[in-house]
A and B are shown apart, each in its own frame.
Chain A
Amino acid sequence: MPETTSSGDGPQEGVQIDLISGERMAGKTSMEKIRLILDGVRDGNIVVLESGLTPDEESKLIEVTMSEINPDGFSGIEIESFPQDQASDTSLLGRLMGKQETSKLTVIGPANQIQSLHKDETLISALISRK
């Protein structure tokens, strides 16, 4: 049976996964990062950040997500990340260097497409449905 449900706003029917390197995020402002994430997620993509967001950026991400939710399209995000590495987080050198971000792999996707997102210490597992 041929699939005829192509949604019109994108050629692909699969799920696109964007793996964004820490390097690519490094030069961006908080709002640029959030925009990049939400643009991807609103297109139906799964966004994986090599090095996650700072707490401040996470709180802004929630705030902006809330302001963009609308009943006919976007119902928000699912997000999971590995816990902050305690050792590197509190290292004296890290603090001296004013380093806030430690590597923290983060997975973000559209809430209406992620059927489940589970995590344990070392594994994040996402079950995704097509658009």
Chain B
Amino acid sequence: MGLFAELRDSVSRVTASLFADDSEPKRIGIYGPPNAGKTTLANRIARDWTGDAVGPESHIPHETRRARRKEDVEIKRNGKTVNIDIVDTPGVTTKVDYSEFLDHDMEKDEAVRRSREATEGVAEAMHWLREDVDGVIYVLDATEDPFTQVNTMLIGIIESRELPVLILANKTDLEDANIQRVSNAFPQHETIPLSALEGDNMDEVYEQIAKYFG
């Protein structure tokens, strides 16, 4: 029986690797600090290619407290087709203070509950980064300083896992957006400017997704 199980396992491994290219979508994690526009981007990608959204966008930090997944999104670009599962993660941070939620007019119980969900979501997202994603879209708000410890650490973690990564400089519709500052911060990676909210430059985003994750 041991032998049979082993045989069956190795047969299914062989078939899995034979068909890996077409059947298994790549799992692409959308990471970045809170409020960068990750959910806005995930929703836009999902709407453009599947017709429905991933989750609510919000100016309240930690609105995305649990990662949301949109499976089997098929993106076609220049005759190339890529299948990806998009994982929209909560913004990575090293601290969560429930009193931040109180500032958004929440009752204490609700604030505590939300902060607990937020910490669980971040822990989960970190865990996946080590175990479970095939590529990363790293979203930054181009109006903010990209040289933060969290960004540096996260990009370092992504690099050490040798995952393909695209850096998106989001919110180019805003006057303060500084794309150059973002590409200077991570010169070793491709930086693509966009406005996820307005849908500006999404063509290039899809082209690069097809190129990097295809």
Interface residues in chain A, defined as those with a beta carbon under 8 Å from any beta carbon in chain B: 54-56, 58-60, 62-67, 69, 71, 75-81, 83-84, 100, 111-112, 119
Contact = CB atoms under 8 A, between A and B. Distances in A.
Given A54-B160, A59-B129, A76-B97, 5 more contacts: A59-B153, A59-B157, A69-B96, A75-B98, A111-B94
Contact of A65 (B94, B98, B153, B161): B94
A112 B95 CA distance: 9
Contacts of B93: 76
B119 A67 contact: yes
Interface string B122-134: 1100110110000
B122 A66 contact: yes
Contacts of A78: 94-95
Contacts of A80: 149
A112 to B, nearest CB: 7
B94 A76 contact: yes
B45 interface: no
Nearest to A114: B95
A40 B116 CA distance: 23
Which of A54, A62, A78, A80 is packed against the most chain B CB atoms within 10 Å?
A62
A65 B152 CA distance: 18
Interface in B121-162: 122-123, 126-127, 129-130, 149, 152-153, 156-157, 159-161
Contact of B92 (A54, A62, A75, A112): A62
Given A71-B115, A76-B94, A58 B127 contact: no
B123 A55 contact: no
Q: Which size bracket describes the interface of B in this complex?
A: 20 to 34
B153 A66 contact: no
B73 interface: no
A54 B112 CA distance: 32
B95 A77 contact: yes
B96 A67 contact: no
B74 interface: no
B126 A79 contact: no
A69 B115 contact: yes
A2 B24 CA distance: 68
A109 B120 CA distance: 21
A55 B149 contact: no
A58 B157 contact: yes
Contacts of A84: 156
Nearest to A100: B160
Nearest to A67: B123
B34 to A, nearest CB: 13
Nearest to A53: B153
B123 A66 contact: yes
